Structure 1
């Protein structure tokens, strides 16, 4: 299947309604293409931990016209403090809010993943067809199109299939069954949980190293 520079608008299927899938859907729809996003969860997965928006990510958000919306949903984290066992700061690195130069450990644009995917969904749902509760179970392709087989038993032809279904992408494994393991095991284990802020909490992200080989962070 070939796609020339002056081809007709494409019929595109994106597997995964996360940050990458929705961002791509935004640009494809803006370019006049028909876009279907298949998400195996029954609704938008608007949750997750903090995301640092940096460098090209900031430029991309600005080009999408969404930077103002991102700014309205930023996490209040002015910097990061390294504290001792008593919570006393031993070193502090503040965010670079000058608009110039590189970001520090704390980005000027810190946003929760849930807010980020909601913003992208709000910007695309009137121009993109979202199908929740359905996944790409398999596909076949020839010189004219790709035919996707969905988990609900239906099938449909598309010009292009994009796997934006995460690190354990089923689409990637189907295309590259002998590809590299997507996980690089380092022996490091991390756990995240959410604790509501109270009035006396310092907005700085606090990091403590209780002992060699361990680290505790509060954001």
Structure 2
């Protein structure tokens, strides 16, 4: 019997993880990626809990640890850079790892590149399915037919749009924007994320490590209504949005905005929540952020890796019955994504207080153990 062919759109976190496990189960996965190579916001992400177990089974934990940051704390500072609060981020001897999303995507790709076909600089433009398969039209490559198609192409998923409908039907802006930018060099303190707040705004400087030569990362997070005509690929628009949102801010913000003005690798997007009544339609299914984005605050990379493994397992254990496999995958994985989606407003209140009074309460609260746990579990950046 010929191995089933599976097209996976997206080479972020979920895509390569899924390709690895499908190939090991005898499927023939093809991963198509719009970018010319691996792309990422570079934001720090966590691989924790069930995703750490997936990484262990893939033999990748040691590589993840080699690329991990040395962060042990999150420090809050005022306009003058004086510390006003700190929480300890302690793995307590577990397998959880924090590393840049760029590093995670690279490690997963290298683990799966010999197991699957990767096609970069191309994207899906049309999908036509019947009882026997899915005919796929690409922007550049010749049309091909696959047994199954998986949309692992993120918040702005092309597969979701083609198979399920317009993005506005499923994507909810959560009132926050986030931007990340690699800094010119390493930061002075390799062990602490340093965060500055003013009402409704936050800026964090995160130590870097790995293939980025240790360059630090700046993250801008601010509250704001949905911007009409927002384009997640329009860097010039993003520069204008940040300049407007952070006008008059203190600490190192003017210096960081100067780097924004000259950056060619700036990332900015809405913190959004994807809610869908179903993650599959016939032979097409969604994974990662495309199915259930919880964006900045929701363990996105952990959920992406875990969901990809769950999907691959379901397909392996239901040979010839993709409908049953998709149903089992969705039922299982929603139990993990649903609580994270509900926690988004709580996480925003912790990291981006809307008022000075809220900032004061948050800073005082850093002395309390429950907040330590809450912040540690909610500071994962966007995945997928």
TM range (shorter): 0.7 to 0.9
Correspondence for 2:186 among 197, 205, 208: 197
| Cα pair 2:156 2:167 within 8 Å, conserved | no
- Any idea what SS the aligned residue of 2:55 has? helix
Q: Alpha-carbon deviation of 1:95? A: 2.0
How do residues 1-219 of structure 1 correspond to structure 2 at under 5 angstroms?
A: 9-45=3-39, 48-99=42-93, 108-177=96-165, 181-195=169-183, 196-198=185-187, 200-201=188-189, 203-209=191-197, 211-219=198-206
Q: Which stretch shows the higher mean deviation, 22-31 or 51-60?
A: 51-60
| Cα pair 2:35 2:121 within 8 Å, conserved | yes
Q: 1:27 to 1:57 in 2, by over 3 A?
A: same
| Cα pair 1:168 1:182 within 8 Å, conserved | no
Q: 1:153 to 1:8 in 2, by over 3 A?
A: closer
- Any idea what SS the aligned residue of 1:41 has? coil
Q: 1:74 to 1:134 in 2, by over 3 A?
A: same
- Any idea what SS the aligned residue of 2:169 has? coil
| Cα pair 1:48 1:112 within 8 Å, conserved | yes
Cα distance in 2 for partners of 1:75, 1:164 equals: 26
| Cα pair 1:167 1:182 within 8 Å, conserved | no
Greater helix fraction, Structure 1 or Structure 2? 2
Q: Alpha-carbon deviation of 1:8? A: 5.7
TM-score w.r.t. the length of structure 2 is 0.50
Q: Deviations over 1:90-137 (max 9, x none)?
A: 32222223235xxxxxx9511111111110111111111011122111
- Any idea what SS the aligned residue of 1:186 has? strand
- Any idea what SS the aligned residue of 2:3 has? coil
Cα distance in 2 for partners of 1:187, 1:171 equals: 25
Structure with greater contact order relative to length (CA < 8 Å, sep ≥ 6): 1
Q: Which stretch shows the higher mean deviation, 33-42 or 83-92?
A: 83-92
Q: Alpha-carbon deviation of 1:138? A: 0.9
- Any idea what SS the aligned residue of 1:152 has? coil
CA RMSD in angstroms comes to 2.2
- Displaced runs of 4 or more, over 6 A: none
Cα distance in 2 for partners of 1:193, 1:153 equals: 32
Aligned to 2:300: none
Cα distance in 1 for partners of 2:196, 2:169 equals: 32
Q: Alpha-carbon deviation of 1:38? A: 0.9
Cα distance in 2 for partners of 1:162, 1:205 equals: 36
- Count of aligned pairs between the two proteins: 205
TM-score w.r.t. the length of structure 1 is 0.84
Q: Deviations over 1:6-33 (max 9, x none)?
A: x863111111111111111111011111
Q: Alpha-carbon deviation of 1:160? A: 0.4
Q: Alpha-carbon deviation of 1:216? A: 2.1
Task: Give unpaired runs (5+ residues) of structure 2.
Answer: 207-384
